[in-house]
Structure 1
Amino acid sequence: MTQTAPELDTADAALVSLGRNLEESRYTFATVTPATHERVNRRSGNARAFGFRDVFGWSRPFGPGVLPDRVVGLMDTAGVLHQDGDEWRSTVRFSMCDNGLFVHSASPDRPSSVFYGACTRVMARAVAAHIDARVWPVRRAVDIRCGIGARAIAVARRRPGAAVLAADSSDEALRFARVNAALARTPGVRHCPGDQLDDVGGTFDLIVSCPPFMIDPARRAPHHLSTAILDQAAAHLAPHGSLVLFSGAGIVGGRDQFQRAAAEHLTGTGLAWTYRELDPDVYGEELDSPGYCDAERIALVMLVATRGPR
């Protein structure tokens, strides 16, 4: 698979400039869960935006005069300004993660959205901790299903000499990952289409991934993408290489459904692996959906599989 250099077109360059403007204004915003976001925006006085955080954090509508003309111009050039008469909205948000600013979709509701989830910061910290504890060098790394690129950038920041590949099947995800790599000043990150290791090819010292794990409308098994990566990992890990895989696990009757599936798929691969919960209770609103009617909670988990020397 050919890797493309992080070259920016006019729209992407404008989005980077927009992020730089926010950095210069000392903008910060910690994205919350969609349920919390909705509750805060329902409060009296929060219906419209009056500044940067309202527009680019809370996704509130605004009109002329709220933002500097230069910022509105950059939004327009970047293609992230939605206009409906005198009411405007940003179609992106900017959120803090790993001491940097990341751009992502303003709403998780569209099918093509590439959203900064409630777990993004937790996963970036976990990747950083894994790299800090790793004895063997990281010369080549990949983040499969990279989303906004936060995990790939976390790797590149701590191993600036490594070749880091961010792969995703979504054009919108690759755009955000490309822009975020520019914002983070991590030129070692490259981008390519693909959502499985076999799409990318080659071997890696570090593989990172968080495939979609919620039960989708097609009612496929929730972990089919994660277990596919487990099935391919042994063929793509270099000696002493490690896979860091994040997923959500439905806990039914006290039993972790993903851990059981992972054990089955890793048997016979020769990979040593560890498994732990990072957060015992995420996406609680999904417990009301038919796919999780038997689950008592959904946990964010991290599986690390390691290849020994050959």
Structure 2
Amino acid sequence: MTPAAFSREDEALLSLLRRLEADGYDFVTPTPLSHSRVLKRPEKQVARDLRDVLGWSCPFTADLLDRELFGLLVGAGALSCEGELWKSALRVSRLHGLLFLHSAYPTDDEDSVFLGPDSYRFADFISAQVGTRKWLGQVVDVGGGAGVGALTAAQGRTVRELILTDVNPKALRLARINAAHAGQPLIAVEAADLEGAPEGADLILANPPYIVDEKSRDYRHGGGMHGAQVSLDWARQAVGKLAPGGRFLLYTGSAILDGGRDELREALRALAAEAGCALAYRELDPDVFGEELENPAYTDAERIAVVGAAITKSRAQRPQS
């Protein structure tokens, strides 16, 4: 596997990231609800600076940006115009010191490339799990979106091969550009899961969708088990793809049902036992997306928790002499 070549539009976005890096650009993506609230403020009706344009997704006048920045966005095909105002189709946010391109607000399209507070928590989880290790071998980020998992794991470490899979071509494109800016050669594979990944991975990462989404958007809908089905399916695939001693790091959500039952934890325990793997599992945040409890799919749930799971495959036993 080798990384694909960049198009002229891709090169324009890569140049944009380099320019933003040189200028010290910084933006942290909030939740969609917080973003919506901020955009209702009078001062956000028309952009006043670059953060308003590429962070808050505000419309802007052409003279707000200098010629180079405006030309890069035009060259990337990232601008739309309504009357005298322009709007970027992309946002740029900083996470763990790295810049990431992702979709503009609101992320309502089926092929939106999402990055938000879960991405920051996911990155923190990966960093804590990888710890001080300096060599990671072959790393696969399944459903990797903008590349947060892959690039966080590889940051400051040696990776033999860095692979990202996603069903969304837009995500694959932005992930490759984000990786190039971070100095990481990324192999992007269009796949809904781990089918396109090679066997024998040393580290597999996943931040799957875990909410029951009525619109069934790929980046948000987690399927059955109150949204945990995709997480369980990917875990099962990952166990089969890991090299001996390899690890699968899963950051996801689990609906905690009446009486405190966590059906995802139960299912992962059974999977790990069947595969002869070790499982470490804990809640990272006890209550997120509380508004989803009004969804009929969650009538028997007390809360939705963010959880982190690490599944380690046993090493092959050496033959006895």
TM-score (norm 2): 0.90
Aligned partners of 2:54 and 2:88 also within 8 Å: yes
Correspondence for 1:169 among 162, 167, 170: 167
CA distance in 2, matches of 1:287, 1:226: 19
- 1:233 matched residue in structure 2: 238
Matches within 5 A, 1:72-151: 72-107=70-105, 108-132=107-131, 137-151=135-149
Match of 1:193 among 190, 193, 205: 190
Distance 2:191 2:69 in 1: 33
Mean Cα deviation higher: 249-258 or 202-211: 249-258
1:303 counterpart (306, 309, 318): 309
Cα offsets for 1:130-177 (capped at 9, x unmatched): 112559x52111011011001101122232342111111110110111
- Maintained 8 Å contact 2:79/2:86: yes
CA distance in structure 2 between the partners assigned to 1:28 and 1:127 by the alignment: 22
Q: CA RMSD in A?
A: 1.8
Distance 1:133 1:280, change over 3 A: farther
Matches within 5 A, 1:2-81: 3-81=1-79
CA distance in 1 between partners of 2:289 and 2:65 (Å) = 33
Of the structure 1 ranges 110-119 and 231-240, higher mean CA displacement relative to structure 2 is found in: 231-240
Q: CA-to-partner distance for each residue in 1:43-79, whole Å, 9 max, x for gaps?
A: 2322110110101111111112111122111111111
Matching of residue 294 in structure 1 with residue 300 in structure 2: yes
Distance in 1, Cα, partners of 2:112 & 2:98:
21
Deviations 1:219-258 (A, max 9, x none): 9402222111222223211111000011111122222232
Structure with larger RCO (C-alpha < 8 A, sep 6+): 1
Residue 266 (structure 2) pairs with residue 268 (structure 1): no
- Alignment size in residue pairs: 306
2:140–2:163 Cα contact (<8 Å) kept: yes
Gaps of 5+ in 2: 317-321
Return 141-150 or 191-200, whichever deviates more.
191-200
Letter in 1 for 2:206: S
Question: Segments of 4+ in structure 1 off by > 4 A?
Answer: none
Per the alignment, residue 257 of structure 2 pairs with: 252
One-letter code aligned to 1:252: L
Q: Which is worse superposed, 195-204 or 272-281?
A: 195-204
1:279 corresponds to: 285
